[in-house]
Amino acid sequence: MTDLSAFPITRKWPAQNPKVLQLYSFPTPNGVKASIMLEETGLEYEAHKVTLADADVKSPEFLSLNPNNKIPAIIDPNGPDGEPIGLFESGAILLYLAEKTGKLIGQTASDKHHITQWLMFQMGGVGPMLGQLGFFYKFAGAEIEDPRPRERYINEAKRLLGVIDGQLEGRDWIAGDYSIADIAIAPWLNGLNFYGATEIVELDSRKNVLAYLDRFMARPAVQRGMNIPARD
Ligand SMILES: N[C@@H](CCC(=O)N[C@@H](CS)C(=O)NCC(=O)O)C(=O)O
């Protein structure tokens, strides 16, 4: 019997089946990267709902797995060194799952590096910038009178959309074949709908991005992963 008792998070979110991978997440653009990847690879897993409320994401049990209090995080009871492994940061989780399964990370070493490059572009650019756009355009920051932060992130979002649109010219997916780079990027593009920001960033003028998003959202694993764990 696999024993996950060394991971205090399992006291608040007990594993029903400790032999399978444990996902701690919520269906946000960062959270669904992990669930979509798990659905795409067909790995067996159990999803635990960790809401963004302090009582969950800042609980001592969650912090024991991710001291940075952010979803998603995982425990794989079948880690690479014959021992369970806990991981946080969606990009690290995507790379781990891709390497574990040999899926969605390309065929050659060059493919892998190009996919990693676009994954990092999402982690360092698209995610943080669109996240700030959401704050200053839809959430609490929208009330700030000074227009400069809002304009900064609107302009940055537009610029990033231009980069993605250019890269998608003549391509179905961002780095050749469908990969973890797409699983990282596309949920954030979809998040623009949630922010009510598609018009302000002129998404309609980015025809390659729009077609890409449709292609991504049509995948059965994406449709399942977008709602895991269920919000209620
Ligand atoms: N760089 C992190 C970002 C994760 C992140 O920002 N998660 C948000 C939800 S999308 C969160 O858990 N926020 C809770 C908080 O900050 O208290 C990753 O990619 O995993």
pLDDT tens column, 152-175 = 999 999 999 999 999 999 999 999
Nearest-angstrom CA–CA distance, 81 and 129: 36
Residues 6+ apart with CB under 8 A from 126: 160, 164, 184, 185, 188, 189
Q: How far is the CA of 108 from the centre of ligand 1 (A)?
A: 31
Would the pLDDT of 2 be above 70? yes
Atom nearest to 54 CA in ligand 1: 17
Q: Taking CB atoms and a 6 Å cutoff, what residues make up the pocket around ligand 1?
A: 28, 30-31, 52, 57, 69-71, 89-91
pLDDT confidence tier of residue 1, bands split at 50, 70 and 90: low
Q: How far is the CA of 103 from the centre of ligand 1 (A)?
A: 25
Residue-range domains of the chain with CATH: 9-103 (3.40.30.10), 109-221 (1.20.1050.10)
Atom nearest to 71 CA in ligand 1: 12
Nearest-angstrom CA–CA distance, 221 and 62: 27
pLDDT digits (tens, 9 = 90+) for 24-35: 999 999 999 999
Residues 6+ apart with CB under 8 A from 38: 21, 23, 45, 97, 225, 228
Q: How far is the CA of 29 from the centre of ligand 1 (A)?
A: 9
Would the pLDDT of 194 be above 90? yes
Distance in angstroms between the alpha carbons of the first and the last residue of the chain: 31
Which amino acid is present at 82?
A: G
pLDDT digits (tens, 9 = 90+) for 40-64: 999 999 999 999 999 999 999 999 9
Average pLDDT on 79-98 reads 97
Atom nearest to 68 CA in ligand 1: 16
pLDDT digits (tens, 9 = 90+) for 132-156: 999 999 999 999 999 999 999 999 9
Average pLDDT over all residues of the chain: 97
pLDDT confidence tier of residue 232, bands split at 50, 70 and 90: confident
Residues 6+ apart with CB under 8 A from 114: 106, 175, 176
